[in-house]
Amino acid sequence: MTDAPLRVAEIGPGPASLYPQATHFSDLAALLHTTPFDAVVLRASLEDNRRMLRELRATPSYRLAPLFCETSDDAVVSALSDGPAPSTSAQLQTHCQTWRERMAVFNNGRPPEGIEAQVLAYLWLRTPGKLNVLRAVDSAQLYSYPLVDCLGGDTVNGQALVRNLVQRNLLDSTALVDRIRLCRRCGSGHLNYVDVCVECTSLDIQRQASLHCFTCGHIGRQTEFLKDGVLVCPNCVTRLRHIGTDYDRPLENYNCNDCQAFFVDADVEARCLDCGERHQPDELQVREMRDYQLSETGLLTARQGLERNTDHYFGGLAMVGANTFKTLLDWQLELIERHQAPSFALLGMRFANLGVTLARLGPQRGHALLDALIERIQVAIRDTDRCTRTSEDQLWVLLMYTDQAGMARVTERLNQIGELFVGQDLQDIRLHTAGCVAPAELLEKESAELLMARLAGELG
């Protein structure tokens, strides 16, 4: 281990110093112009500390470095810093020595390259570390991992990256912070929940005073009951004299100004403020926001190497093996033949030119693209849908209890993935989809094998 003397920097107003050997800077720009230090102590205002932490974590030489900050009860500071500085020089020395030792054995001694490796290294250096999720109301996803955002910059989808690490068992949850709902079409969390007409889904509804005739049970608008200044049931023509005996006022009812429908409970629709998509509230994508730390597998991986197997482009999607998938599909086909139910849809998709594009992009941008693809596919399908792949660029989804309309919705959402393939590097990628809704579109005596072959033909 190296015993080079520790270089410590302090940033903040005033000359006060915790450590005799520290070099003092009054602002960050001056620090960034000199040879990198081993550790930095931030002693400015909360706002300045937050800003400097973000900037330092985005700067290659300070991304993983020990950065201390007094105001550690702040969520942003806590997510990006190593907490308050050790109280003595000797303790600081020990802290940094441990850091160096851990760095030396990370990934078999290779420096962390790429955002994934850097996130794991950051946690490894602080084992088990903490990866905190914070509210980010101006982002479409409502929450973000500030550390991942700083390390990765604008090109990385932090949520997708963290989910991917979780799916590979590299992270353990330490706390459930929130449960949010997202638009199925664009993934945005900016949703507005509105009461709408049960008949025509119009927004233009209003509460109406209504009466309930005890003689015949009719419920209607109060105005319908008014006749020549007295109350008369428009249905049974009974004169209503005494409230409580002849009639009463039921719960507030709604009247639709568009279709004139009259109803007790309005429907609730979740409307996306970003793309305009309308959903039933239970159709929304539910996501849990969690804090994480390195798992046992994560510790092992950090030490032994994290070369990700790029042979499996879609490893991040929960997949079943192709044979299991075909068995499942055959079983559904048998049920359909015997009972004409339950309906399902089979959807094939092929990403033409994905392999060559990934090779051209290189590992970092390639993984970012795959993460974005997986993210969008996950948003488009339901957790109960089954997924497999028959070749590297060809995926299959079995959508249970899905009819033509449901299939059209999923296909439309998937086709929107094409939005990702803009720009010179990505424009060669083409997404082809082919689907079949059972039982309507099945051919006679079609097995899983035959059905998938037929659709594969359409995928080109």
Which residues of the chain form contacts with Zn ion (CB under 5 A)? 183, 185-186, 188, 197, 199-200, 202, 213, 215-216, 218, 233, 235-236, 256, 258-259, 261, 272, 274-275, 277
Give me Rg for the CA atoms of the chain.
30
Pick the closer one to Zn ion by CB: 185 or 367: 185
Smallest distance from Zn ion to CB 142, Å:
13
Pick the closer one to Zn ion by CB: 278 or 365: 278
Do residues 38 and 19 make contact, with C-beta atoms less than 8 angstroms apart?
A: no
Smallest distance from Zn ion to CB 410, Å:
15
Pick the closer one to Zn ion by CB: 185 or 290: 185
- The bridge status of strand 67-69 relative to strand 39-42 is parallel
The amino acid at 454? R
Q: Is 278 left (phi over 0), alpha (psi -120 to 50) or beta?
A: beta
Pick the closer one to Zn ion by CB: 272 or 329: 272
Pick the closer one to Zn ion by CB: 146 or 220: 220
Q: d(Cα 366, Cα 371) in Å, to the nearest integer? A: 9
Max Cα distance, the chain (Å):
101
Q: d(Cα 347, Cα 332) in Å, to the nearest integer? A: 14
Nearest to 253 by CA among 241, 268, 264: 264
Smallest distance from Zn ion to CB 275, Å:
3
Smallest distance from Zn ion to CB 219, Å:
10
The amino acid at 291? D
Q: How many residues does the chain have?
A: 460
Pick the closer one to Zn ion by CB: 108 or 192: 192
Pick the closer one to Zn ion by CB: 217 or 342: 217
Do residues 251 and 245 make contact, with C-beta atoms less than 8 angstroms apart?
A: no
Angle between helices 158-167 and 115-124 (to 10 degrees): 70
Smallest distance from Zn ion to CB 189, Å:
9
